[in-house]
Amino acid sequence: MRLFCFHHAGGAGAMFDGWNKALGPAVDVVAVEVHNRERFATLNQLVDHIEQQLRPALDGPHAFFGHSFGALVAYRLAGMRTGAGAPAPRALVVSSFPAPHLPAPIPHHLDDHQMTALLSDLGGIPPEVAEWPALRDGAVRAARNDLRLCSTDDGTRPVVLTCPIHAFGGSDDPLITESDLHEWSSHTTGTCSVHMLRGGHFYLDDGPPLFTALLPVLARLPAVSQTC
C-alpha cells in the first residue's frame, strides 16, 4: 500500500524522511510536495494541481496522511476524488488539525514577529533555522502563504467520505484538542478513531510512538478500495 503524506504549513516533504524505513516493507511512503505554492490563489487550485499530479499513482491501494495544514489538503483531495467517482483512499489519517467545519487554528494575518514566535513555540521552526534570519524569514513566508490558502477553504462545504478517518494529536498541543479531533467523525460514513500521543503540535517528530500506533491502523484497512 502507498501512504501519500502531506506536510504542515511552510513545511516540506523532507519531514517524512525515514518513514519508509519505519513503516516498510508493507507500506510505501510517498511524500507529496508542491513547490512555489504562492502561485495558487486558493486551496482548491492547489488540491486540483495535486490531484492531476498524483492521479496515475492513485489507482492502486493507497491511504492519505496529512499533518496540520496537510490534513486539510489530504481531506480536500479525498473529497475531490469522491466527487469525481474515483477510487477513495483506504483511509484518511489526519494529524494535529481540527475538523474542517471548525475554525482554522492559526490565522494567517499575524505580523512577522507574532508568526515567528508562534511557529517557534510550536516547533514549526527548528532552532537551527531560527538562528539564521534569512532561513527563518523564508520559513515564515512559506507558512504564511500556506495559511492563506487554508483561509480560502470553505468550511461550510463539507464532504462526507466513505473511507475511515483516523485522527492523531498531541496531548499537549495548545492549538488542537481531543474534542476537535473527534469532530472528524461527522465527515465520514465509515469508522472514525482518535489517538492522542504524548507531545505538542509536532508530537510526530518523536517518530517511534506514532509509528507504533499507525502501523496497526494501516494493517486493518479494507482489502478492497471503495468507489465514491
For 40-44, 128-132, 149-153, which range has the lowest pLDDT when averaged over its residues? 128-132
Residue 166 vs residues 86, 143, 144, 195: alpha-carbon distances, Å:
21, 25, 27, 8
* pLDDT level of residue 120 (50, 70, 90 thresholds): confident
Q: Using one digit for the tens of pLDDT, what is the confidence trace for 168-222?
A: 999 999 999 999 999 999 999 999 999 999 999 999 999 999 999 999 999 988 7
The pLDDT value recorded for residue 156 is: 63
Amino acid at 73: V
Distance from C-alpha of 217 to C-alpha of 96, rounded to nearest angstrom: 17
Share of the chain above pLDDT 90, in %: 72
What are 140's three cell numbers?
515564515
Confidence (pTM): 0.93
Q: Are 161 and 86 in contact (CB under 8 A)?
A: no
List alpha helices for 16-132, DSSP H.
Answer: 19-23, 43-54, 69-83, 112-122, 127-130
The pLDDT value recorded for residue 110 is: 84
Amino acid at 101: H
More confident residue, 176 or 130: 176
Give the chain's domains with CATH numbers.
Answer: 2-103+158-218 (3.40.50.1820)
